[in-house]
Structure 1
């Protein structure tokens, strides 16, 4: 089970990634977002759980496909993530807004 700190980190990273309009992310970035290893990401790509495009010797994952990965979370995990995001926004919302302007 994911901890609240990890879920807040995942939610913030996904928000920042989408805000920056990055079209593609690397397997390392996705691993960091999901809180899993790069090897686990590669296995999910090979199993077809994650769509990826091979660019040279590296895989790139479209950010539009990343948001679909949250559909695979359990209802309990989604609830915990939503609570963590709400708590983060209530405590640090203004700070995050100021950082977003930089």
Structure 2
């Protein structure tokens, strides 16, 4: 069960300097939040926002770090410390929904 797009939108707006384009790619918070809730997989999302292979890998890595509670890895990868709780909750739910497919295991 993925988070509501409005909640994701608020998170993306709050931390846009970290998330756009570095983690989520180019797009408005509204568009990116909707795609994160609607697209079946990370590959579908990556195609819609034209992520490069490197950007796609960073998105997967960020979501896995958040799900696994790897705060230091996220901070070293550019996450602001005050984003952790929301990143853990929101990205963890997205990963648990099967968004990463076999990569998220």
Name the larger-Rg structure.
1
TM-score (normalised: structure 1): 0.30
Q: TM-score, normalised by structure 2?
A: 0.30
